[in-house]
Structure formats: C-alpha cells, structure tokens
C-alpha cells in the first residue's frame, strides 16, 4: 500500500495521479483510515482481524472488463463518484490492484491509496471516498461486513453532509 495526494489533473482516473507528496500512516490514521498488509496465503490473519472488528460476513467481488462486459465503464464511473457509507468499508485485495481516494481533513484534498494483493483497507463510516481500478484493469477483493452484506453509496451532497453517520465521523476528527 502506498498513499499520496492526488494531483487533480484531468485524465483517465485509472492513471497514477501522484502529486509527488506522500501521505504518512499517521495522516491516514488521523482521518480514521486503517490498513494492514497480510499475505494472501495467511487467511487466519484475516479471520483474526474480522473477529477483532466484529465482521460476521464476507464475499468476494471481481472487477474486470471481461467480467462486466458492456457495464464496465458505467460501473467504474459509478464507483468513482464521491460517496460515503453508513458502515465501514473493508476491502482485502486478493488479486490485482486499484485505488481508493479518501478526503483529507481539514483540507478536503484527495488522498490516493494504491492497494495491491495482500492489502487490507478499512474506511470509517461517513468518510467521503471513491474507488477505481488502476491501468491493470483487474481487481479481486474480499469485502467484509459487520452484518448482512450491503453496499449502499450515498453520493456527496447537502443531504449526505447532514447524514448522522457523516456528522458522527466529523465529530471523531475534531476529537483527534
């Protein structure tokens, strides 16, 4: 896993877009973003994290152009819309690679996190973020859930700014 500030230049969202400014683990932790690197042959460590964080369910999602066919570009654009969830978003990369972009605080700048096989990322409920593949155009990820599997994005607007989960998330930032 490598994190850096997004360069905000126009162009394909799957490109690196590295501004040259690295982001430390401390900055990520300060906005509630956690990560581990767990080799994909060490499933028991994923089980331990799941138990510690009370994740009861999981599934596996594969995103490829071949797999999504005509829906590929539409799905990729949808994942890249800035949004939040009312639950933590937990992804463990099994194969391939991609980017999660998260909003820094208080600047609201994008931080780009590049994930590869073995990376586990936890985004807190209420954080604005987006996802895209990188130029390899393939990712296979395990999604972990505290309850029944669900993935409901709330695109950023005035209503999401007033969402109780967003408000609670923002309160954690003022405490830190």
Is there a binding annotation on residue 85?
yes
CA distance 53 to 97: 24
Is there a binding annotation on residue 129?
yes
CA distance 18 to 109: 13
CA distance 161 to 157: 6
Is there a binding annotation on residue 114?
no
- Quick one: DSSP state of residue 23? -
CA distance 168 to 88: 13
Tally DSSP H helices, then E strands, for the chain: 6, 11
Is there a binding annotation on residue 35?
no
Query: By C-alpha distance, which of 1, 73, 83, 74 is closest to 34?
Result: 1
Residue set of the binding site: 83, 85, 89, 129
Residue set of the binding site for Ni(2+): 83, 85, 89, 129
Residue set of the binding site for Fe(2+): 83, 85, 89, 129
């Amino acid at each position: 896993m490598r994190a850096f500030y997004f360069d905000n230049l126009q162009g394909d969202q799957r490109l690196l877009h590295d501004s040259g400014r690295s982001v430390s683990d401390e900055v990520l932790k300060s906005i509630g973003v956690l990560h581990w690197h767990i080799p994909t042959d060490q499933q028991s460590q994923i089980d331990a994290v799941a138990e510690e964080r009370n994740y009861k369910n999981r599934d596996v999602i594969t995103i490829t152009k071949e797999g999504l066919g005509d829906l590929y570009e539409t799905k990729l654009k949808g994942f890249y819309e800035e949004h939040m969830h009312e639950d933590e978003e937990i992804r463990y990369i099994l194969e391939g690679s991609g980017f999660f972009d998260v909003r820094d605080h208080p600047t609201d700048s994008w931080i780009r996190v590049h994930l590869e096989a073995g990376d586990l990322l936890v985004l807190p409920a209420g954080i604005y973020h987006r996802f895209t593949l990188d130029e390899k155009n393939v990712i296979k990820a395990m999604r972990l859930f505290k309850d029944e599997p669900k993935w409901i994005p709330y695109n950023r607007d005035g209503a999401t700014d007033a969402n109780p989960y967003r408000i609670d998330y923002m309160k954690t930032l003022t405490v830190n």
